[in-house]
Structure 1
Amino acid sequence: MNFLDSEFLQTMLLTFKLAFYTTLLLLPIGIALAVLLDSLHSRLGIILQAFIWMPLILPPSVLGFYLLVFFNRNNPLGVFLLEHFSLQLAFSFAGLVVASVIFSLPFMVNPIKNALSSLPPSLKEASYTLGKGRISTFIFVLLPNIKSSILLGCVTSFAHTIGEFGVVMMIGGSRAGETKVASIAIYEQVETLNYTLAHQYALTLFVVSFVSLCVIFALAHRYAKAHIL
């Protein structure tokens, strides 16, 4: 196997680039939604949480299909984005990022929301007593106490994005250097009976996924141990 092949390196670089941008965008979005969910105790909160969990239930091809319909240049939303922002999301890297953010949303939001919910109310009250406002309390008191869960959400989102297939296939297709990520490349190489290159992609994703899981379990163990202590 030749891991220095230009096509292989280009595809893997694009795959990691997609996962990095997705995780970077998901971090502030995930924290904001986690805070919102933690503060909502009504039907609105239930509906919002259901929408966030939908990517875990829906087949990826379903989500990818509707994103393709909405972002298509023949759709009003696609026309609006193209005319006012010169942004074409269908069959583009930008579209892959948007789709990946939506698809990996629960992997970022859920651990952060659960961690916020598990914090004792006395922590927040003590901060208020010391004269800190809501924003400073959140940034300097609450966030440091859930950093393991935030890191867990980042690692999980990154790993999940790397393994996407159905969503990226529907919204991005297979444009070399722009939308062709590793999962798509594996499918194409198997179709052409090029098992050597397919194995090269698959082995790389296998190693990355295994290392990611080791990091996730280590973080989960550390989080549990910290709470026991």
Structure 2
Amino acid sequence: MFAGQDLNALLLSLKLAGLTTLILLLLGTPLAWWLARTRWRYKFFLEALVALPLVLPPTVLGFYLLVALGPNGPIGGFMEALGGHSLAFTFAGLVIGSVLYSLPFVIQPLQNAFHAVGARPMEVAATLGAGPVDRFFSVAVPLARPGFLTAAVLGFAHTLGEFGVVLMIGGNIPGRTQVISIAIYDHVEALEYGRAHWISGALLLFSFVLLLLVYGLNRRPPGGGA
């Protein structure tokens, strides 16, 4: 069962995953829309930058974030100069790291969904007098709903399972930065395999249910076309 420190780690992980997913949907939607619609010849540079966490070792990203957000780094030093504290080993630092590491898991499904919408529905809406903002919210967003669902689930699940980035930037402070993946590692290191099995099994089931939700809701009805 989840109890005590494990429950705190789970709640912190859910809070981190939920907040990260919300931030990524708010910031990632306009970026994904722009990437899907722009004809800028050098957009592949930005696409490669967005996709970088897919191939970059998590500890590398976590290390550079630790340097940047620490007291001697540009961001952490600036925060301390303003009378605050560096963001390393804080929940805010975990959020920043999670947003960057989960970025492609939200941006790419949204970009693909906006690509699938195509130009025709937007052109039809324009001929009916809809402005750019109205066309986006009344046409593009409803048509791209499966992409939003996929992006939200993947972003949430990926953040929930993070280890390398959160360990590097947040450490392992119970109640503050210890997330559930680190709690599992602690149990394994202490040879507490029973508790590790219980938590890992619960997360395995939770992740499978999330994927069932995505595939089930995005499943096309028979005869619905390609």
Structure-1-length-normalised TM-score: 0.93
Moved more, 93-102 or 195-204: 195-204
14-23 vs 29-38, greater mean Cα deviation: 29-38
Q: Are 1:174 and 1:184, in contact at CA under 8 Å, matched by a contact in 2? A: yes
1:149 aligned partner, one-letter code:
G
1:174 and 2:172 equivalent?
yes
Contact 1:152 1:219 in 2 (8 A): no
Output the CA distance in 2 between the equivalents of 1:227 and 1:84.
58
Q: How far, CA to CA, are the matches of 2:94 and 2:222 in structure 1?
A: 37
Aligned 8 A contact 2:113 2:146 in 1: no
Larger helix percent: 1
In the alignment, the residues of structure 1 paired with residue 102 and residue 7 of structure 2 have an alpha-carbon distance, to the nearest angstrom, of: 24
Shift of the alpha carbon at 1:87? 4.8
Which residue number in structure 1 is paired with residue 151 of structure 2? 153
- In the alignment of these two chains, the number of paired residues is 226
Q: Deviations over 1:17-39 (max 9, x none)?
A: 11000111111111011012123
Q: Which residue of 1 aligns with 2:225?
A: 228
Please name the residue that 1:204 is paired with. Answer: 202
Q: How does 1:37-186 map to 2 (within 5 A)?
A: 37-84=35-82, 86-186=84-184
CA 1:8–1:36: 2 relative to 1, 3 Å: same
Runs of 4+ in 1 over 6 A off after TM superposition: 224-227
SS of residue in 2 equivalent to 1:228 = coil
Alpha-carbon offset, residue 221 of structure 1: 2.3
Post-superposition offset of 1:77: 2.0
Provide the C-alpha distance between the structure 1 equivalents of 2:49 and 2:118, rounded to a whole number of angstroms: 27
Q: Match of 1:188?
A: 186
| Cα offset, 1:188, TM superposition | 1.0
CA offsets per residue over residues 56-76 of structure 1, 9 Å max, x none?
011111111111111111112
Of stretches 98-107 and 119-128 in structure 1, the one that deviates more from structure 2 is: 119-128
Match of residue 21, structure 1, among 19, 22, 26? 19
- The amino acid across from 2:76 in the alignment is G
Q: Report % sequence identity.
A: 43
* DSSP 3-state at the match of 2:42: helix
Query: How many angstroms does 1:133 deviate by?
Result: 0.6
For residues 225 and 175 of structure 1, do their structure 2 counterparts lie closer, same or farther at Cα, with a shift above 3 Å needed? Answer: farther
Deviation at 1:82, TM superposition (A): 2.9
> 1:208 Cα shift?
1.3
CA contact (8 A) 2:21 2:152 kept: yes
Paired residue type of 1:211: V
Shift of 1:40: 2.7
Aligned mates of 2:71, 2:190 — CA distance in 1? 31
Question: CA deviation digits over 1:79-134, x for unaligned, max 9?
Answer: 11233372532111111111111111111111111111121312111111111110
Change (3 A) 1:215 1:85: farther
Q: Is the 8 A contact 2:187 2:195 kept in 1?
A: yes
Q: Indicate if the aligned counterparts of 2:75 and 2:86 stay in contact, CA closer than 8 A.
A: no
Call closer, same or farther: CA 1:71–1:205 in 2, change over 3 Å.
same
Q: 1:228 Cα deviation (Å)?
A: 2.2
**2:224 & 2:66 partners in 1: Cα distance?**
43
Gaps of 5+ in 1: none
Q: Which amino acid aligns with 1:138?
A: F
